[in-house]
Structure 1
Amino acid sequence: MFRLALIFLYMSGYLVYSLPKLKRVQGLTEDLSVAKRDSLIHETPQQWSQTIMKMTGSKIEVQGKQHLPEGPVLLVSNHEGDFDIPLLLGHVNKPFGFISKIEVKKIPILSKWMEVMNCVFMDRKDRRQAVRSIKEGVELLKQGHTILVFPEGTRSKGGPIQEFKSGSLRLAKDAGVPIIPISIEGTADVFEKNGRMIKPASIKLTICKAIRFEEYKDKDLKVVANEVREIIISSRREDKLAS
């Protein structure tokens, strides 16, 4: 209970503390390159996320940092739990926005940070709005930003990786960018498996090799989704065999 209360207080307090920085990054001029602007914006969410993960007391191992190329990519990750976003923001050294459920847009300050980070809010209950969100994500990728998606659509809570929905991978195909599969193991052990209490865990984050646009452009998106899912699953199997 103590860790949970402490993290909640930190998250709330830091958002208020970040308001001056939010105003500064909202005022960044278009004279900056996309990479430079995104890097400046990413500093605060990254620091915030790294501190949150430290407060859980978890041990975090990151593999495959060398697989992150320059330029826009679609990051595709499995989704274990609520701590996936802080984990990725804090330990993937590449600024990115992400697809979020539209309800988050109602949260003060946080939603404004997500807007400057180039997050996309999606209402899965409204098909037309969801299509517009996909188009928005495609445009952001074409502009040079990186986007993260969780194709499972919901948290596995530490269970088997669920089927990947192919729709989110359309962002990469329509924008013509590489796909970076990412494996998350252990975040559900922090929260979801503990009756929603915080407990230190051993977390592994694996960034897999990029799938170039030329490698998947002529494939059906359902096939691509299955292949990306299998890459993520295989990366976990290989680690267990090596140990």
Structure 2
Amino acid sequence: MNIKIKLALFSLPWLYRLNKIRKLSKKYRKGKEELTAQFRNDLILKYSSKLLKLFNVEINVIGKEKITKGGVLVVANHVSNGDSFVLFNALQASLENPKDTRRIATFLAKVELKSKKTARNILELIDTFFIDRSKIKESVKTIDDFGRFVKENKTYGIIFPEGTRTKDGEMQDFKAGAFRVAKKNYLPIVPITINNSGAIFDTSRSKKLVVDVIVHNPIKASEFSTQTNEAIASRVKQIISSKYVKGLPEKRKNKGNK
């Protein structure tokens, strides 16, 4: 079925889901204790899975046995707005039983996303840390808070060190500051390569899209604790790029959209 037709047919259920997220996000901001981290995580995970299914996306996880226990930094390349949803679901790949406790993801995202109401409601509901790259001191504090949260709560801290999606399909430089998280909090790094995600939200697409998620061997904190952030960034980029297949970047609605 054509994606545009599916979007039209399922518009009402999605309006209900988005409204539910909006209400829960508002309650959470007001400090409602009954909204546990696991409940909030599982709800967004459930909806993200449904969204990928709606867009006829299949996730092929290679090396799922390398997904370690929580309290790690997950680092991946960035092609599409759908990459976050892909990683969120890919992290669950090695769970053997559907009833197993879902893995909790914590994101570090650019503050610009807060200007989009739906994105803000979703991200705030799952304890996302927003970084304002124009304010250096504030950014450093946010990165430190993010790392501390991941370590204390044993979640999967997800970072896209390129800072924004690729515009030409080529992998961009990895920002060294992102690796301050792993070094300061002594967190293992799990490098992940995402291939073929550029067309996830392309409504003109009619065929199934298979997105490959390649999980590399985790890097123990003891292996990079004496290295500079720049050296760690270079090492991780080399690992991720070794399996990266250049593809078409995500279509932008306007030139100013990053």
Contact 2:105 2:156 (C-alpha < 8 Å) held by counterparts:
yes
Alpha-carbon offset, residue 111 of structure 1: 2.5
Distance 2:224 2:8 in 1: 45
SS of aligned partner of 1:76: strand
The aligned counterpart of 1:183 is 193
Q: Distance in 2 between matches of 1:178 and 1:79?
A: 20
Contact conserved, 1:178 with 1:211, CA < 8 A, in 2? yes
* Partners of 2:74 and 2:158 within 8 A in 1: yes
Counterpart residue type for residue 176 of structure 1: Y
* Alignment CA distance shift 1:158-1:11 (3 Å): farther
CA contact (8 A) 2:72 2:151 kept: no
Asked whether 1:209 is paired with 2:225, we answer no
Give the CA RMSD over aligned residues. 2.9
- The answer to whether structure 1 residue 27 and structure 2 residue 26 are counterparts is no
Could you say which residue in structure 2 is the equivalent of 1:49? 48
Could you tell me which residue of structure 2 aligns to residue 168 of structure 1? 178
Partner of 2:111: 102
Kept in 1, the 8 Å contact 2:21–2:121? The answer is no
Change (3 A) 1:76 1:6: farther
Between the two proteins, the alignment pairs up a number of residues equal to 228
Distance between the aligned counterparts of 1:170 and 1:7, measured in 2? 45
Specify the alignment match of 1:60 in structure 2: 59
Task: Give, in whole Å, the separation in 2 of the partners of 1:52 and 1:120.
Answer: 23
Distance 1:127 1:108, change over 3 A: same
Percent identity for Structure 1 against Structure 2: 25
The verdict on how the C-alpha distance between 1:59 and 1:138 changes in structure 2, with shifts beyond 3 A counting, is: closer
1:124–1:130: 8 Å Cα contact kept in structure 2? yes
> How far apart, CA to CA, are the structure 2 residues paired with 1:110 and 1:6?
21
Q: Relative to 1, partners in 2 of residues 1:164 and 1:110: Cα closer, same or farther, differing over 3 Å?
A: closer
TM-score w.r.t. length of structure 2? 0.77
Query: How far, CA to CA, are the matches of 2:215 and 2:168 in structure 1?
Result: 19
Q: Distance in 2 between matches of 1:102 and 1:8?
A: 30
Residue pair 1:7, 1:55 contacting (<8 A) in 2 also: no
Per the normalisation by structure 1, the TM-score is: 0.81
- Cα offset, 1:207, TM superposition: 1.6
Give deviations 1:51-87, integer Å, cap 9, x for gaps.
1111111232112222122231111000011111111
Change (3 A) 1:158 1:142: same
1:128, 1:177 → 2: CA distance?
22
Evaluate the alpha carbon distance shift between residue 27 and residue 184 of structure 1 in structure 2; reply closer, same or farther with a 3 A threshold: same
Query: Which one has the bigger helix percentage?
Result: 1
Q: Gaps (5+ residues) in structure 1?
A: 31-36, 238-243
Deviations 1:151-209 (A, max 9, x none): 11111256121111111111111111100101111110334xx6x75554221011211
Amino acid at match of 1:16: N
Residues 10-25 of structure 1: matches in 2 within 5 Å?
12-18=15-21, 23=27
Which whole-Å CA distance do the structure 1 matches of 2:164 and 2:73 have between them? 18
Task: Identify if the C-alpha distance between structure 1 residues 132 and 197 changes in structure 2 by more than 3 Å, giving closer, same or farther.
Answer: farther
By how many angstroms is 1:38 displaced? 3.8
